[in-house]
Amino acid sequence: MNRKWDLFISHSSEDKDTIVRDLARLLDNLGVKVWYDEFTLKIGDSLTQKIDEGLVDSSFGVVIISKAFLNKKWTDYEYRSLLSKEDTFKKVILPIWHNISIEEVKEYSLFLADKFALDTNRQSIEEIVKKLLEIVRPDLYESFNRLLLFKKITQNGDAKKVDILKLKWGDRQRDNLTQAQINRIKSFYYSIGQMFETNLDDTLNCYLYDHHPDREIHVWEMMNVTFIEFLKETKITNRAKKKEVAKQLVAISMGTLSKDTSLTVEELTRLYYIWKSNFHPF
């Protein structure tokens, strides 16, 4: 059965500012379909009806267990509802402990205390998201690994100017591309690809060294259709601004946003939502 949401976040409102909101946003930015009240509820909605829909139509339930969570009737209702879905040993509840001890959890639920949990006191939000992706969206797990590795390298490294002619390629993975792959690469090269200082031959050559060329082509196709749709909507014609749009799309595809940008907040927000509407996993 296909679910409407990948996961439902059950939490106390007191924990929104310390963990829940950032967790929900990061998961959402990575393409995870998250039922979270600030994303999902609209003015005039029936609270009980929408929460029940979220509980039923979510594949997993992330439960943020804190002192505040244990003292709320509403969070107890959500937990019991998720618990009812864990039949025939199917894993549904994914607990995250937030500033709470094992003894306090045991007093609330021995079943919950027995589950292996993530812990905000021991793991960063990036590490927690990585663990959740491994279970909830394994198709996004590898991409997030690459993003974390990229951040680690850039944080620990020194910025230097390097002669591009002195850069060395890794091992070549194939001798040629299929005509279908070449055609797909050309389709985005002659659009968003024109915003980068590369020629077609060099672009095609890169894919001979790529371990997963079709996956990379897939990402660029999503970026390209977003690029075209955004320019058509905003009527941007300035080449410098087009290049900025392309740069931001590369960042968005890696689950992040560049703070150094000439785009307005409104433009950046709209670009992200167009990307989100065009995103589909490989």
Mind telling me the catalytic residues?
78
Q: Residue 282: which of 123, 87, 137, 120 has the closest Cα?
A: 137
Cα(46)–Cα(142) distance, rounded to whole angstroms?
A: 38
CA distance 15 to 37: 13
DSSP alpha helices (H): ranges in the chain?
Answer: 21-29, 37-40, 47-56, 67-70, 73-83, 102-108, 110-114, 125-136, 138-156, 179-189, 200-206, 213-234, 239-253, 265-278
Task: Determine the Cα–Cα distance for residues 207 and 174; give it in Å rounded to an integer.
Answer: 9
Q: How far is CA 120 from CA 23, 104, 109, in A?
A: 11, 16, 19
Residue 8 pairs in a beta bridge with: 35, 61
Distance CA 118, CA 98 (A): 9
Q: Are 24 and 96 in contact (CB under 8 A)?
A: no
Beta bridge partners of 94: 62
Find all residues with CB under 8 Å of 217, minimum gap 6, and list them: 181, 184, 185, 207
